Amino acid sequence: METSKQTRKGISTSIFRGSNASTWTILAIFAIMCVALTITRPAFLDMTNLMNVARAFSAYAIAGLGVSMVIMLGGIDISICAIYGLAGVVAALAIKGGVPTVPAILLGFLSGAACGLFNGLLVVYCMLPPYIATLGTQQIFRGICYITTRGYPISGLGQGFQWMGQGYFLGIPIAVYAMIIIVILFAVFRNMTTTGRRIFAMGGNEEATRISGINTVRLKLLCFILSGATAAFAGILNASKLGVSQPTAGTGFEMDAIASVVIGGSSLSGGEGTVVGTVIGAAIIGVLRNALVLLSVDSYFQTLIIGSVIIVAVSIDQIRKSKT
């Protein structure tokens, strides 16, 4: 019993480890947003609306946690939007080809990990800047989506597949439980394992980490694999929620995922960021998108506002860095 309590305490500590004044400030902003939206639009507190918001930002959080590993190194992965779509296509094609649901989902997940590995190999061995490498692979992965589907959506995926994105347990979407599990796994990995701590160290000073005898190549590859795998899982959840896989799925998704990381307090220069911060950042993006809908803001202005929020978040990060 004592061991079980210590384990729970360790996991809880790891989730909030690294939280600082910035994290609590972000949390306060999130709370203020929710209160203001409740006052102006009481429908925000409708349980159906809240569950829809939670399900939506679960995808941002899941993909955000993965891409935060690359950002931790001072890199970026903008191909996650295409990986998001490709994983759904792979899973859907597998199901239509007669593969059982669970193995099909696993194939989609592994396709994302393989894409992440490909990104990592380009960065490590071809010495391409992460932005250029993932800009190119974004087009490659999206092209594969179009080639394999001929541009048509894939439907008729069955109730077993749709349950993951549409199902509920105790009134809470299955996607939210999936997010919680992934949050715990990343918190333990980043804060309670040697590899996770080495990634932090490499983000702070890659050369010093390499000189100390740590294999920085493997760490970089691992971070890109995690980025691809989580983006794939988020994409599969999206296909499951819609009940259809679309080759265009995930267009623009990378901005929401990366914004979640930056708003959550991670630095684009690397070496800084927390799990809980990324989740709060994802929640802010989810609530902001919901607020724009509830306030009947034109869809074109919604895009403008989200883009402005990203610019402000990155600007604050750069200004803060310049003063340290």
Alpha-carbon span 82 to 141, nearest angstrom: 6
Dump the DSSP string for 152-197.
--B----HHHHHHHH-EETTEEHHHHHHHHHHHHHHHHHHHSHHHH
* Residue 145 near residue 85, CB atoms below 8 Å: yes
What percent of the chain is helix, strand and coil (3-state, nearest 5)? 80, 0, 20
Alpha-carbon span 123 to 80, nearest angstrom: 15
Q: Report pTM.
A: 0.87
What residue ranges do the domains of the chain occupy? 54-318
Task: Give pLDDT tens digits for 142-176.
Answer: 999 999 998 899 988 888 888 888 888 888 899 99
Tokens of residue 251, six digits: 């267009």
Closest to 243 measured CA to CA, from 103, 127, 88: 88
Q: What is the pLDDT tens value at each position of the chain, 324 positions in all? A: 455 554 555 555 555 555 555 677 888 888 988 898 899 888 888 888 888 888 888 999 999 999 999 998 889 999 999 999 999 999 999 999 889 999 999 999 999 999 999 999 999 999 999 999 999 999 999 999 999 998 899 988 888 888 888 888 888 899 999 999 999 999 999 888 888 888 888 887 778 888 888 888 999 999 999 999 999 999 999 999 988 999 999 888 888 888 888 888 887 777 777 888 899 989 998 888 888 888 888 877 877 887 887 787 777 766 766 666
* Residue 203 near residue 272, CB atoms below 8 Å: yes
CATH second-level architecture of 54-318?
A: Orthogonal Bundle (1.10)
